Structure 1
């Protein structure tokens, strides 16, 4: 991975505006006053990068992202000591939403204000508006540079509004910076209808796109800044969200009105919204292709002892995430992923000496069962896969030898699964390529029953017996009392996500077609799977499922959840599809990881970690009650 030397560091050295930390990672510790921030080019650019971009980079933290913490893909133990929350720093607020702890008095993941792991996105929007109001002041900014900066600020302003819309639905629109002497009526703005909000975001993106560079030419100096390719992809996602059932004619919100009596949600389904989204997806894909976007392919590096094609495929699938700035990543944020030690099992004996090796990120059984069989169809639809006996204890065999240790006792559900399962999930009996051992003929093995991966103390354990392996690159190692991470920056959007979004939109517009299948099959082919029609025709109990709009919709939704697992996307998708409630209706299950006898027989007993709590009201977040008192023109989120 190349070393990132960002231009913000130059501002640190020259102007001492902020402490010298990674480019765009954090809000500066000492923000210059507005009057002094636009005296010259360097001060103005520092304001853009240090203030306008700052909360965007914080969104790289998965614990701040409801798309990750509330998706049901990953949970954390609920019985951690009160003084020892996740990661030891209180970053469990988002996960606690699944336990029914949300409230309107002091909301968790509060992005309206800045409490409980939230961010004040209104402050970020105010920074953008201040910048737009003052960017013409510095006399030494070139015309081209000024246009680009304005476009960046408009994109950021649009994206912060979009994030708030996904969380709260109808919101006020902060299109201009309010003057210091603004009246109470000017400050106390009303929420706008949700379609007005979406259209506002799209308008800002359309204004920004022409003046943004299509790609970053100086990676060392400017990686992390916005391009027109990123903006086009975001526009596609915004329009697809607007077209989705949560916001497009949702009967649950039909009676919701603002303080002026106007309806805040569209009363009926508008299919034309899907066509707008499809057109935007195609434009985004075309732009990405023109700027060199392509699927990541693993290239063998020095230090690898032995690697088969099976292992190479797993590293290709994982590297799409963990090899930063590769051509598949349309949008990557600068901050490094900071939770590898929480996502990793104790791989070998030496890892038992590592202090604070929490391993708390736990994958529930339902998420593991989302992945396909090796035939590329769901495990409950594959006529050749023994679904009813999937919890039976069996021994790893030669056919699965590069994924599960041959002769090791594991559950049958871990055998004969698709490559993405083995690239994304670690479990008892799974092989682990990496952590200092790069010989896949003699790999380390996860022994969750009584080996290094077994629970060592009440806080350093995994609640289900499954780990999100996808998030831990093979180069990361456990050494003598230390965990040496191979750092990677967090990818916000990948090319396969756009392909699957385009397929979804096309299917919603006109149902199954050769073009829809093509975009799905491009994703499946990289994972070593047959195309949708071929796989269902040969292996599925219902071979005609891909031939109907409803059937193909289910396939596309599951394909997105598999391909984008653990990437902070599923929680948003499940919300916009209005499917999150059905996903969270069942308890989170896992193996008996705290078994006292340390035997395989006792370990392989399903137990309930906890029963998630998710009601209709939880699709959107509550506005803090105090804000409703401060601004009587606001109405509370539906059902709160």
Structure 2
């Protein structure tokens, strides 16, 4: 790790996120600063440059809707979605190795080091200290930097497991970088400890200076609400089977024999996770957060609009942590069908198992339901699908029509002229079918619909700008329900918070259930409510240790409709389940990503997860 290289990298990114968090940062600013002003000492003597540095620390805060050149590794490698016409990640081909790891560990460590430098130097900034609120500003800035440093460790932990924790000081090139991994328990304790310290310096909410009113310009800056929500997520993972009593991973150990994942089960972790989730909920609701709901006389329509409009109208109500700049334009052109005005890319496919997991409108599963039939076609049209649509897509729960675009669905965006474009046609010769484009078609016969605005147009470009929600209140509700079901089966809050999410989605309340039955319902609710968001499914199947189990398998065949067949909307040849995607068989090593080979070559004390 070269000090000068790190400084220049930090300077290069410092302004990139300033437009998100701080006003006044000019594009290309650091390109025009004389070399004698880019010394770290000069930066931390200047308020503007110091704040630009802090803004740069936010640059790896994830954007849920930025596919990154179709490289959203979490979504398209799990049992949610596929983009293999565009990209075949090493995880799905079986080629993942230290040389092909998708982990962003190097970038995380760069921001971690930048945060450490900031914490070491910010208190010496006399220009800030002389301000009327200078002392409070520095306190807040330290809280943000400390939280972000811990948060990047947390993101890395989710990817690679127990991590190498760097000393809490900026190290020189001559320092010893041969550092082994800390255990998972030590990594969690470290991250939670740093967040706890950070919370002492963070404001409760993003209030305007000297006011009780929220400052919209500070949306997304770290506060106590965000920090408490992240704590709940960490403790939920920490209690989960992958990390709690996982004796199977006892072979994951350092060179000195230290086991990195504790094989002993600790039931108290679930109680701690439940308490943390409830604290996060209570804190958020004390600041007027609530599940977003759209009022409509038709309960089904209300559920549809509540869950659809959540992503552009509901973030102020439900959003816990927002990212003000988001790659929604790239997301929308990737998921919109080709029948969209301007011809979108039509390529983020949805796997059949997720389609099947959406319930019927009465809340019951499709299996054995009298209203579910794959061999008939409906006659009346609705606002969700046209006449002639296969009945496997009719009578489903509201979120199905929010999240999934299927053959016969009403166009989710501004359609080209012509009746055929007002509906979505995925059959082979249809307007969005395989025969019409070499690569821009979904292999499964479905594309993602979530967070696609109905006014979207590819050309002329129409994009409704909106923040992205990294964490929202519904996730906290489901965190709490899950942890409480494990800690205190039968507690009335389990159904209260689970049903709140179900009811907003138009489903009836559950009234009872054993611990096992409610565990199943909670996991299914997470699968549906949080699909395509922040890699939740990718990490859920891993932390539950079910990635190789039927119904949640992450390798092998994934099914869809027959894109090679069909010449009309109601053609039975298209509506035939086939193995649309074949991925490499699941391997135990895929529970974690490896550190990169370059890091393994440099740090001989760092071990890889067995299998890499």
Q: d(CA) in 2 for partners of 1:436 and 1:605?
A: 27
Q: d(CA) in 1 for partners of 2:605 and 2:508?
A: 55
Number of the residue aligned with 1:477: 457
Number of the residue aligned with 1:213: 203
Contact 1:324 1:488 (C-alpha < 8 Å) held by counterparts: no
Cα deviation, 1:319-344, whole Å, max 9, x if unaligned, reads: 21233732101111123223111111
Q: d(CA) in 2 for partners of 1:61 and 1:476?
A: 16
**1:319 correspondence with 2:309:** yes
Q: d(CA) in 1 for partners of 2:298 and 2:461?
A: 27
Q: d(CA) in 1 for partners of 2:314 and 2:59?
A: 20
Q: d(CA) in 2 for partners of 1:512 and 1:66?
A: 37
Cα deviation, 1:22-62, whole Å, max 9, x if unaligned, reads: xxxxxxxx994423220122221111102x11112567634
What is the deviation of 1:467?
A: 1.5
Q: d(CA) in 2 for partners of 1:402 and 1:571?
A: 32
What is the deviation of 1:175?
A: 4.0
Cα deviation, 1:357-410, whole Å, max 9, x if unaligned, reads: 221100011110111111113222x65444xxx432422446xx23222x31x3
**1:589 correspondence with 2:559:** yes
Cα deviation, 1:460-506, whole Å, max 9, x if unaligned, reads: 2121111111121112135xx44422233321111111001100000
What is the deviation of 1:273?
A: 0.7
C-alpha distance 249-595 of structure 1, shift in aligned 2 (>3 A): same
Aligned residue among 368, 390, 400 for 2:355: 368
Number of the residue aligned with 2:26: 12
Number of the residue aligned with 1:112: 105
Query: Counterparts in 2 of 1:65-464, with a 5 A limit?
Result: 66-76=73-83, 78=84, 80=85, 86=86, 92=87, 95-104=89-98, 106-113=99-106, 120-141=107-128, 142-183=134-175, 186-218=176-208, 219-298=215-294, 310-323=300-313, 325-336=315-326, 337=328, 338-347=330-339, 351=341, 353-354=342-343, 357-380=344-367, 383-386=369-372, 390-397=373-380, 401-405=382-386, 407-408=387-388, 410-432=389-411, 434-435=413-414, 444-449=422-427, 450-455=429-434, 456-464=436-444
Q: d(CA) in 2 for partners of 1:107 and 1:367?
A: 28
Query: Counterparts in 2 of 1:528-543, with a 5 A limit?
Result: 528-533=506-511
**1:553 correspondence with 2:519:** yes
Contact 2:274 2:484 (C-alpha < 8 Å) held by counterparts: yes
Q: d(CA) in 1 for partners of 2:538 and 2:185?
A: 22
**1:637 correspondence with 2:609:** yes
Cα deviation, 1:505-525, whole Å, max 9, x if unaligned, reads: 000102233211111000111
Number of the residue aligned with 2:531: 565
C-alpha distance 318-411 of structure 1, shift in aligned 2 (>3 A): same
Cα deviation, 1:178-228, whole Å, max 9, x if unaligned, reads: 432543xx2111101110000111111111113212222354422221111
Aligned residue among 42, 45, 53 for 2:48: 42
C-alpha distance 97-31 of structure 1, shift in aligned 2 (>3 A): farther
Number of the residue aligned with 2:495: 517
Contact 1:362 1:463 (C-alpha < 8 Å) held by counterparts: yes
Q: d(CA) in 1 for partners of 2:65 and 2:395?
A: 34
Could you tell which deviates more after superposition, 422-431 or 454-463? 454-463
**1:496 correspondence with 2:462:** no
C-alpha distance 237-18 of structure 1, shift in aligned 2 (>3 A): farther
Could you tell which deviates more after superposition, 329-338 or 141-150? 329-338
Secondary structure, aligned partner of 2:105 = coil
Secondary structure, aligned partner of 1:601 = coil
What is the deviation of 1:549?
A: 1.2
Cα deviation, 1:433-476, whole Å, max 9, x if unaligned, reads: 65279xxxx99322223443233211221211111111211121
**1:506 correspondence with 2:480:** no
What is the deviation of 1:229?
A: 0.4
Q: d(CA) in 1 for partners of 2:37 and 2:295?
A: 43
What is the deviation of 1:265?
A: 1.0
Q: State the number of aligned residues.
A: 567
TM-score (normalizing by structure 1): 0.83
C-alpha distance 433-102 of structure 1, shift in aligned 2 (>3 A): closer
CA RMSD across the alignment: 2.8
Number of the residue aligned with 1:537: none
What is the deviation of 1:309?
A: 6.2
Cα deviation, 1:66-85, whole Å, max 9, x if unaligned, reads: 44233221101x3x4xxxxx
Q: d(CA) in 2 for partners of 1:179 and 1:212?
A: 27
What is the deviation of 1:18?
A: 6.9
Q: d(CA) in 2 for partners of 1:299 and 1:521?
A: 18
Contact 2:558 2:580 (C-alpha < 8 Å) held by counterparts: yes
Structure 2: give runs of 5+ residues left out of the alignment.
Answer: 1-17, 129-133, 209-214
C-alpha distance 532-334 of structure 1, shift in aligned 2 (>3 A): same
Q: d(CA) in 1 for partners of 2:55 and 2:565?
A: 51
Could you tell which deviates more after superposition, 593-602 or 284-293? 593-602
C-alpha distance 634-529 of structure 1, shift in aligned 2 (>3 A): same
C-alpha distance 189-591 of structure 1, shift in aligned 2 (>3 A): same
TM-score (normalizing by structure 2): 0.86
Q: d(CA) in 2 for partners of 1:585 and 1:55?
A: 29
